[in-house]
């Protein structure tokens, strides 16, 4: 890649790429990444891929607030809830193979797991897990009230079964299928169902079905390891009165949220998914059949609806795009791909502002500008 005023521009994504001109869209990408950094965030990187395969990479800020080294253009990060799109893809592939049905109940695959306090696995379907309409109440440990709390618990390990058991201590937020509530516990149950159906771990299936076929060589799953592969930007998060703390070194409780990737690989995944390379037409149609989200989240994601592992969101230039953002301690991911899979953008920010709505609005501006460039330039 050839660096052009802080922007790398290339055709292809290999180690050697042919330099291309420096169009207005790359300037706009850099402007939007700089604006995100100016919010008070330590660093950000974004990669836009156009319909003709050109890639534009913009970075801003630092990867380490102590050494002041710059954000790497190919830096690794934890994808957090973006991993839900991969889990949903595997589940729908199994549906296409007639090994799983969206109408199967949780009880059918995981007898006795969802039970107690009004929770009933006989009433919850696979579709409802994937669409966040199960009503299951999330109860994840939170050790982010102070730096001392974080350092004491950052290497604690929880199994999916333990997290599901925590959720079962609560009554459902609503009856299955009657509301919408974002529920990571539902995706942990989906991980467990994938393992029951296939006889393999959920990540083995993600790797076999998505990572290896697409050549996502920069994507990995660390299990319970708290470390990151090089290169990466350190992750920072405000922890109470302690302010911004380096939270890079910790064990991620949400299994698929621990997946590590890069903007190159996440772009490639979303383009393949919406481009029809990973799912049969019937299953892609199921994935993109949406329902309204909660009023609370809709205030932060205006106009958004949810399919099976994907958000549908309106574009400022008209039409819609598909996305699944994610946020782990410090690492915040946003992304977007056009409905035909031909134009996409991925943003990774390595710190948390502590003002989710403001940070999301800046990310929305970047995604909208990047995807709407296709209206005039292809």
Inter-helix orientation angle 263-274/83-96, to 10° = 30
Question: Quick check: 127 pLDDT over 90?
Answer: yes
Poorest-pLDDT segment among 10-14, 282-286, 372-376: 10-14
pLDDT digits (tens, 9 = 90+) for 26-74: 899 999 999 999 999 999 999 999 999 999 999 999 999 999 999 999 9
Tracing tokens 């920069």 back to the chain, one arrives at 218
pLDDT digits (tens, 9 = 90+) for 77-118: 999 999 999 999 999 999 999 999 999 999 999 999 999 999
Q: Which residues contact 74 (CB under 8 A, 6 or more apart)?
A: 57, 218, 231, 262, 263, 264
What is the spatial distance between Cα 346 and Cα 337, in angstroms, rounded to a whole number?
Answer: 9
**Cβ(134)–Cβ(122) under 8 Å?**
no
Task: Give the global pTM.
Answer: 0.93
Question: Quick check: 155 pLDDT over 80?
Answer: yes
Question: Quick check: 377 pLDDT over 60?
Answer: no
Q: Which residues are catalytic?
A: 81
pLDDT given at position 12:
47
For residue 236, what is the enclosing H or E element? strand 236-238
pLDDT given at position 17:
31
pLDDT given at position 329:
86
pLDDT digits (tens, 9 = 90+) for 191-212: 999 999 999 999 999 999 999 9
In three-state secondary structure terms, 167 is: helix
What domains appear along the chain, each with residue ranges and CATH number? 2-377 (3.40.710.10)
Question: Quick check: 1 pLDDT over 50?
Answer: no
DSSP 319: S
Question: Quick check: 13 pLDDT over 70?
Answer: no
Percent of the chain residues topping a pLDDT of 90: 88
pLDDT averaged over every residue in the chain: 92
In three-state secondary structure terms, 186 is: helix
Within a 10 A sphere around the Cβ of 247, how many other Cβ atoms? 24
pLDDT given at position 8:
52
Question: Quick check: 10 pLDDT over 90?
Answer: no
What is the spatial distance between Cα 309 and Cα 293, in angstroms, rounded to a whole number?
Answer: 13
pLDDT given at position 114:
98
Question: Which of 317, 325, 320 has its CA nearest to residue 361?
Answer: 325
- Which two three-digit tokens encode residue 2? 């050839």
pLDDT bracket for residue 356 (50, 70, 90): confident
pLDDT digits (tens, 9 = 90+) for 237-295: 999 899 999 999 999 999 999 999 999 999 999 999 999 999 999 999 999 999 999 99
In three-state secondary structure terms, 351 is: strand
Poorest-pLDDT segment among 17-21, 125-129, 235-239, 250-254: 17-21
What is the spatial distance between Cα 348 and Cα 128, in angstroms, rounded to a whole number?
Answer: 29
Q: How far is CA 306 from the centre of its chain?
A: 14
Q: Which residues contact 52 (CB under 8 A, 6 or more apart)?
A: 11, 378
Within a 10 A sphere around the Cβ of 58, how many other Cβ atoms? 29
pLDDT digits (tens, 9 = 90+) for 282-321: 999 999 999 999 999 999 999 999 999 999 999 999 999 9
Within a 10 A sphere around the Cβ of 13, how many other Cβ atoms? 20
**Cβ(193)–Cβ(186) under 8 Å?**
no
Question: Quick check: 7 pLDDT over 80?
Answer: no
Question: Quick check: 368 pLDDT over 80?
Answer: yes
What is the spatial distance between Cα 19 and Cα 16, in angstroms, rounded to a whole number?
Answer: 9
pLDDT given at position 3:
29
**Cβ(354)–Cβ(343) under 8 Å?**
no
pLDDT given at position 231:
98
């Amino acid at each position: 890649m050839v660096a052009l005023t802080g922007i790398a521009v290339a055709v292809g994504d290999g180690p050697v790429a042919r330099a291309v001109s420096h169009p207005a869209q790359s300037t706009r990408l850099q402007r939007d990444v700089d604006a995100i950094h100016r919010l008070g965030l330590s660093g950000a990187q974004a990669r836009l891929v156009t319909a003709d395969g050109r890639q534009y990479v913009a970075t801003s800020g630092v990867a380490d607030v102590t050494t002041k080294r710059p954000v790497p253009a190919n830096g690794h990060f934890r994808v957090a809830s973006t991993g839900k799109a991969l889990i949903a893809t595997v589940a729908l592939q199994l549906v296409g193979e007639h090994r799983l049905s969206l109408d199967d109940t949780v009880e059918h695959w995981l007898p006795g797991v969802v039970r107690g306090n009004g929770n009933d696995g006989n009433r919850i379907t696979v579709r409802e897990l994937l669409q966040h309409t199960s009503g299951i109440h999330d109860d994840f440990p939170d050790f982010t009230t102070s730096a001392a709390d974080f350092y004491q618990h950052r290497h604690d390990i929880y199994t999916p079964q333990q997290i599901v058991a925590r959720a079962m201590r609560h009554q459902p937020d609503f009856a299955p299928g009657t509301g919408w509530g974002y529920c990571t516990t539902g995706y942990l149950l989906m991980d467990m169902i994938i393992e029951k159906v296939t006889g393999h771990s959920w990540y083995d299936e993600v790797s076999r079905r998505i990572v290896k076929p697409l050549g996502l060589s920069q994507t990995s799953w660390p299990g319970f390891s708290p470390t990151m592969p090089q290169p990466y930007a350190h992750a920072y998060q405000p922890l109470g009165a302690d302010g911004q703390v380096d939270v890079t070194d910790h064990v991620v409780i949400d299994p698929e949220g621990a997946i590590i990737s890069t903007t190159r690989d996440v772009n490639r995944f979303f383009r393949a998914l919406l481009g029809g390379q990973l799912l049969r037409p019937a299953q892609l149609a199921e994935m993109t059949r949406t329902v309204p989200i909660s009023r609370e989240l809709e205030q932060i994601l205006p106009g958004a609806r949810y399919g099976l592992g994907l958000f549908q969101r309106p574009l400022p230039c008209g039409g819609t795009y598909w996305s699944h953002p994610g946020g782990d301690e410090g690492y915040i991911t946003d992304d977007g791909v056009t409905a035909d899979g031909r134009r996409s953008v991925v943003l990774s920010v390595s710190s948390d502002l502590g003002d989710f709505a403001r940070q999301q609005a800046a990310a929305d501006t970047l995604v909208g500008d990047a995807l709407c460039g296709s209206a005039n330039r292809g």
